[in-house]
Amino acid sequence: SQKIEQNSEALNIQEGKTATLTCNYTNYSPAYLQWYRQDPGRGPVFLLLIRENEKEKRKERLKVTFDTTLKQSLFHITASQPADSATYLCALGGNSGYALNFGKGTSLLVTP
Amino acid sequence: DGGITQSPKYLFRKEGQNVTLSCEQNLNHDAMYWYRQDPGQGLRLIYYSQIVNDFQKGDIAEGYSVSREKKESFPLTVTSAQKNPTAFYLCASKKKRDRAYNEQFFGPGTRLTVL
């Protein structure tokens, strides 16, 4: 069955460092992958989308890579700030009506 | 402001009761979705609708029902048949139903607790 795995343990890093979050998938051949940010008690917010023919995508301090051979996406936040503390979800195209299949998310805590 | 609204923010239900969660969007989006999120879990798809008067079951539709009588509205009813309804419910919409790459816009969520 299709499976999406994200780091289950929270990631704690110091302000100014680069945070790297991992999303691995199995039994999937996604045409694209999306990353969302979710703050406690709120709905996810779209951050970036990367397509299968793209190796890397950047948006301000964010960078996403997509390796379809390794079946993995890496999400980087450079020069991290305490305001970046949140849960980050990766999502792949699902089988139904272009709904998304989400990973469980990785919690990021950036300390001053 | 354009966006998705969900109400209520918190909802308490007694066992055996049906409750309806509201989801409204003024983004003129075609597709709408309902997800359920449990602590430490990813979002799971309950129902989705790609066009008015049409909707499809997602991965965990048992015990839930929906309607899509208007483009902007997609209410979710949690019936008494849903054995474990306590969860955080998220509604989302997408601009074009046939464009896989479109991002999804999420509402603020409704937290349902069964007493």
Chain centroid to CA A12: how far? 16
Q: Is A3 on the interface with B (CB under 8 A)?
A: no
How close, in Å, is residue B46 to chain A by CA atoms? 10
Which chain B residue shows the shortest CA-CA distance from A42? Answer: B108
pLDDT of res. A9: 87
How close, in Å, is residue B53 to chain A by CA atoms? 15
With CB atoms and an 8 Å threshold, state whether B90 touches A43. Answer: yes
How close, in Å, is residue A79 to chain B by CA atoms? 26
pLDDT of res. A94: 62
In chain A, positions 56-75, which contact chain B (CB-CB < 8 Å)?
none
Per-residue pLDDT of A18-41, as tens digits, reads: 999 999 999 888 878 999 999 999
pLDDT of res. A65: 97
Calculate the average pLDDT of chain A: 92
- Average pLDDT in the A84-105 region? 85
Per-residue pLDDT of chain B (115 residues; tens, 9 = 90+): 569 999 999 999 898 899 999 999 999 999 999 999 998 888 999 999 999 999 999 999 999 999 999 999 999 999 988 889 999 999 999 987 666 667 899 999 999 999 8
Q: Which of A89, A90, A81 is nearest to A109 (CA)?
A: A81
Please report the DSSP string for B4-28 in residue order: EEEE-SEEEE-TT--EEEEEEE-S-
Q: Which two tokens stand for residue B113?
A: 């607790």
